[in-house]
């Protein structure tokens, strides 16, 4: 391959990089692993007989999907031994991973959706993403997954039912979400338990992902009263007063990037429903924060 051919191949691949990163991140829940999959696809694209490829995007999507399915086999084993709740790697620029489709989920990278995808089988996840999010025809999905069209329709239908069941009934305005997130952070840092209780839904859930490398709750904390006690306990030990924070959008949710006195990072994202905080997602695992800057 001469230099001109290499440059042309690189330019054509770059036209699809955003699409491929969006697909790989949704499949894996990890930007680092998504980048690895896309880089491997790039190498295979350069080695392919590109002149016979009729649809480069479909060709590259197939490569990335199969790489992700292989990766998920080992990821499942790792997550079975994961210390505490697993959360996806936080994304601060969700728009960079948008799907270029009219799907209801084209712009949705919420933690709730990512956790729902995580509960699906790898094939269900792939069929749903390829068809429902990235607009691939079922004939192409079937070729990608090595299953019949009918089987792929069933896989996508099962996944769709799970995703729809987990979707919030209403989407709060960004201003409302940011206001509630800011009020909760102020109340938590000051130890104002009454204010925290007013902001939390009765059935709110707190997920904290330290990956065994940072202190975090080993199980989700369910119930607004228990979450209040959790933060009040940390505040009594001055564990929150030394935190510095900046507002950020985390997977499209209002939240913060925070750093403690020792320079350790943490992200917090808030899901809001019916005027109250329904879920809090804290990520402190340093392996998942390498692309986050304060």
Domain count, the chain: 2
**Same domain assignment for residues 178 and 161:** no
Shared domain for 235 and 146, answered yes or no, is no
* Residue ending a domain, choose from 145, 166, 187: 166
Q: Return the structure tokens found at 145.
A: 């997954």
Domain that holds residue 248: 174-288
Domain boundary among 138, 166, 194: 166
152: Cβ–Cβ under 8 A, 6 or more apart, which residues? 127, 131, 138, 141, 142, 145
Token pair in block for residue 115: 């956790």
Q: What is the pLDDT along the chain (294 residues), one digit of tens a residue?
A: 555 667 888 899 999 999 999 999 999 999 999 999 999 999 999 888 888 888 999 999 999 999 999 999 887 777 778 999 999 999 999 999 999 998 989 999 999 999 999 999 999 999 999 999 999 999 999 999 999 999 999 999 999 999 999 887 777 788 899 999 999 999 988 889 999 999 999 999 999 999 999 989 999 999 999 999 999 888 777 666 678 999 999 999 999 999 988 889 999 999 999 999 999 999 999 999 999 988
Give the residue from 166, 198, 223 where a domain finishes. Answer: 166
Longest Cα–Cα distance of the chain, Å, equals 69
Please report the pLDDT score of residue 170 as a whole number.
Answer: 72
Which tokens belong to 40?
Answer: 């491997």
The reply to whether 42 falls in a domain is: yes
Residue 78's pLDDT is: 78
pLDDT of 233 = 85
Considering the domain architecture, whether residues 135 and 210 belong to the same structural domain is answered as: no
In a domain, 98, yes or no: yes
Domain assignment present for residue 186? The answer is yes
124/211 same-domain check: no
Q: Is 293 within the bounds of a domain?
A: no
Whether 158 and 34 map to the same domain: the answer is yes
Same domain, 20 and 158: yes
In terms of domains, do 103 and 180 share one? Answer: no
CATH number of residue 254's parent domain:
3.10.450.50
Are residues 160 and 183 located together in one domain of the fold?
no
Give yes or no: residues 10 and 47 share one domain: yes
CA distances 194 to 9, 198, 272, Å, are 60, 6, 19
Q: Pick from 148, 215, 266, 205: which is nearest to 138 by CA?
A: 148
- pLDDT, residue 234, reads 81
Are 94 and 252 in contact by the 8 Å Cβ rule? The answer is yes
């Amino acid at each position: 391959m001469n230099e001109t051919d290499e440059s042309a191949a690189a330019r054509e691949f770059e036209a699809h990089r955003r699409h491929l990163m969006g697909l790989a991140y949704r499949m894996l829940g990890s930007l680092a692993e998504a980048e690895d999959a896309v880089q491997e696809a790039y190498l295979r694209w350069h080695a392919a007989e590109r002149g016979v490829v009729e649809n480069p995007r479909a060709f590259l999507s197939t490569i990335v999907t199969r790489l992700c399915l292989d990766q998920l086999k080992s990821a499942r084993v790792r997550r079975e031994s994961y210390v505490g709740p697993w959360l996806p790697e936080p994304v601060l620029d969700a728009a960079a991973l948008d799907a270029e489709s009219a799907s209801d989920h084209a712009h949705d990278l919420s933690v709730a959706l990512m956790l729902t995808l995580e509960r699906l089988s790898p094939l269900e996840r792939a069929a749903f993403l390829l068809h429902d999010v990235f607009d691939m025809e079922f004939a192409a999905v079937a070729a990608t997954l090595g299953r019949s069209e009918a089987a792929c329709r069933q896989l996508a239908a099962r996944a769709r039912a799970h995703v729809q069941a987990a979707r919030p009934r209403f989407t709060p305005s960004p201003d409302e979400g940011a206001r509630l997130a800011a009020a909760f952070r102020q109340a938590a840092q000051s130890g104002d338990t009454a204010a925290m209780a007013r902001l939390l839904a009765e059935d709110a859930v707190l997920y904290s992902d330290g990956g065994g490398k940072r202190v975090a709750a080993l199980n989700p904390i369910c119930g607004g009263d228990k979450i209040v006690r959790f933060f009040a306990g940390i505040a009594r030990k001055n564990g929150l007063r030394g935190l510095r924070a900046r507002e950020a959008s985390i997977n499209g949710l209002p939240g913060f990037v925070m750093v403690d006195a020792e320079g350790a990072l943490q992200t917090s994202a808030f899901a809001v429903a019916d005027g109250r905080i329904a879920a809090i997602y804290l990520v402190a695992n340093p392996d998942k924060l390498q692309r986050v800057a304060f």
